[in-house]
Amino acid sequence: MNTATSNPGMKKNTMKKNIIWIAGIGAVLALGAFKLNDNQEQVKAVAALSEKVNESLPVDVGTAEMALLTESYSASGSLEAAVDVSIASETQGTITRLLHRKGEQVRQGELLAQVENGAQQAEVLAMRNQKAKADADLVRARNMAAGGAMTQQQVEQAELAVKNAEAQLMSAEDRLRKTSITAPVGGYINDDFVQLGSYINAGTELFQLVDISTLKLNVQVPESRVLDMHPGKPVDITLKVLPGTTFKGTVRSVGVKADAALKYNVEIELKNPKDSPLKAGMYAVASFREASGKEFLTVDRRALVGSVKAPQVYVVKDSIARVRNVVIGQLTPDKMVVEQGLEPGDRVVLSGQINLVDSTKVSAINQ
């Protein structure tokens, strides 16, 4: 008897297994086809990226060249008080009198506050009595020495006692003086930090005294302009809070050493007008009247990338744009002076920098 023919169940199982195997083989083939197609897409993407990288990016290019600057130079800063002092206590004790407060104007030497000083007054009185006794003892010693009743050594001891008494009296008077808090200069009390009846220690800050009758403006000047600066040079000063008004200032000092940005400090002095008093902290712009007659290496201001504190430009050579650090000096509305980092004739990118990285291939659209 034929077993396969006689057992229909076994025949059905065999067919099912064949179908499963065929389906599995089909799935593997489909997966392989998918992976192959995916790899082909990746290869195409890489090729497209490579082609894009190899393309030249269009940019506008300019040239660094020597030029005569005719624009007036200006620099900005904040006005400062010529006198801004902190008054601290030189003694300790309780404030018994408070004569002036914040916002009031005081004269030099005027009493601002009084610290209890009974003990200091008593000490001064005792030292004066001691000094008077030492003076009398010295007179007697000299008279007796003249009559032979006292030796020269004893006279010298009496003279030394007088000197010691003088020193002790001066020290006591100084301690008494320190209990009276006076203004070292004239000006306005910008702030106070003490109250009547409060106990203070030596070193306690009591008042901030500011004199704005004379103001100063510190600005930073590049190397290309510093040789034009000298004490007494006139300066025009304008303020944003007072548009249309120009104040006259004078260069007071010029720094002899550059800072980390290769800028030199120039201090300008300005007499504060009584009819329109300015305040310390106001933003001001100093304009130097004479324009420089020198030639400087300049490029279009559009070449600047980064910040003024960390300036960079893209220099193009052999159709490759490379980032270069530069040191800039004077800025005008359309040009900037380059003091380090470029040479005359260097070609720099003026527009399109946003699409660039170091060593990008470029093509000049304006040449």
% of residues, the chain, pLDDT over 90: 64
Confidence of residue 183 (pLDDT cuts 50, 70, 90): very high
Cβ atoms of 74 and 290 closer than 8 Å: no
In this structure, are residues 154 and 168 in contact, taking their beta carbons and an 8 Å threshold?
no
Q: Decide yes or no: CATH 3.40.50.2300 for domain 73-81+212-288.
A: no
Q: Look at the alpha carbons of 346, 352, 353, 357 in this order and tell me if their dihedral is positive or negative.
A: negative
User: Which range among 17-31, 169-183, 217-231, 270-284 has the greatest average pLDDT?
Assistant: 169-183
What is d(CA 185, CA 230) in angstroms, rounded to the nearest whole number? 29
Percent of the chain, pLDDT > 70?
Answer: 82
- The span from the CA of 54 to the CA of 13, in Å, is 62
Class of domain 57-70+294-364: mainly beta
Intrachain domains 73-81+212-288 and 117-178 with the same fold: no
pLDDT, tens only, 99-116 = 999 999 999 999 999 999
Among the listed ranges 74-83, 189-198, 325-334, which one has the minimum average pLDDT value?
A: 325-334
pLDDT of 119 higher than 50: yes
What average pLDDT does this structure show over 259-280? 89
At residue 216, the pLDDT reads 96
Q: Is the pLDDT of residue 257 over 80?
A: yes
Tokens of 69: 């600057």
Residue 224's alpha-carbon distances to 293, 337, 341, in angstroms, are: 11, 8, 15
Q: Predicted confidence band at 280 (pLDDT cuts at 50, 70, 90)?
A: very high
Cα–Cα distance, 186 to 188 (Å, whole number): 7
> Closest Cα to residue 298, out of 325, 268, 330?
330
pLDDT mean over 147-155: 91
Question: For the chain, what is the mean pLDDT?
Answer: 85
For the chain, give every domain's residue range.
57-70+294-364, 73-81+212-288, 117-178
Task: Give 276's pLDDT tier (boundaries 50, 70, 90).
Answer: low
Does residue 142 surpass a pLDDT of 60? Answer: yes
CA distances from 22 to 18, 33, 100 (A): 6, 17, 104
Q: Which of 72-76, 136-140, 281-285 has the lowest mean pLDDT?
A: 72-76
Instruction: Look at residue 2 in the predicted model and tell me its pLDDT.
Output: 45
Instruction: Return the axis-axis angle of helices 152-177 and 118-146, rounded to nearest 10°.
Output: 160
* Mean pLDDT on 273-300: 83
Q: Which CATH number fits domain 117-178: 1.10.287, 2.40.330, 3.30.70, 2.10.260?
A: 1.10.287
Q: Which two tokens stand for residue 129?
A: 């009595």
- How far lies 71's CA from each of 12, 143, 146, 284, in Å? 100, 85, 87, 19
